Amino acid sequence: MQNYPALGKRASTHRPSLAWLWLLIFCVTPLLLVTAAAAVFAVTSITPGPFLCLGGSGLFLIILGAMCLSDFRKWSPTRTVRLAIYEQGFTYENKGHTETCRWTDIERIDFRPIEVRSKHSPTRKVSVIRSIVKRDGTVIGLADTLNLRKITGLIKAAT
């Protein structure tokens, strides 16, 4: 992503989260090892214990794999998205197309509610940015895989 001197100094850059990848690395990889060990013991043993271990870990691996596949399908189309926030505006890059917007060019910001869960408080609804409409009619829709809570706070503070 290039710099835009007309927008001032870059404050931050945001990309889609890779949390699903860390889940895959730290959860699925050990399960693959356990499943492989259970398969080896199941083949070399006559007792039903290793077969139960193989079935249980295999079922858990399938469920976790399905969750990771779902996250991958959500993340994959937006993997090239990049939002850079500057002192006087922002740039939004998606699939090779870059849209530049000054804070003064914003006509309105559309929000959507999301539920935020916490261990220490009940579930609550928070409004996050869905899209930004410029004065010339251009609509910039932000990808759901970005950290929209953080970006909403930054953009609200800047405008």
Domain boundary among 28, 49, 76: 76
Domain boundary among 33, 60, 76: 76
Is the pLDDT higher at 150 or at 6? 150
Give the model confidence (pLDDT) of 102-119 as tens digits: 888 889 988 888 887 777
Q: Is the pTM of this model over 0.75?
A: no
Domain boundary among 76, 95, 112: 76
Instruction: Return the CATH number at 100.
Output: 2.30.29
- Say how far apart CA 119 and CA 117 lie, in whole Å: 7
Burial environment of residue 80 by CB neighbours within 10 A (0 to 12, 13 to 18, 19 or more): middle
Both 31 and 10 in a single domain? no
Give the model confidence (pLDDT) of 121-152 as tens digits: 788 888 888 889 999 988 998 887 788 888 88
Both 55 and 105 in a single domain? no
- When divided into structural domains, the chain yields a total of 2
Domain enclosing residue 46, as ranges:
19-76
Both 39 and 69 in a single domain? yes
Both 68 and 122 in a single domain? no
- Say how far apart CA 76 and CA 143 lie, in whole Å: 11
Both 89 and 11 in a single domain? yes
Both 64 and 132 in a single domain? no
Give the model confidence (pLDDT) of 36-90 as tens digits: 777 777 667 666 666 666 666 677 777 777 777 776 777 666 677 888 888 888 9
Both 29 and 71 in a single domain? yes
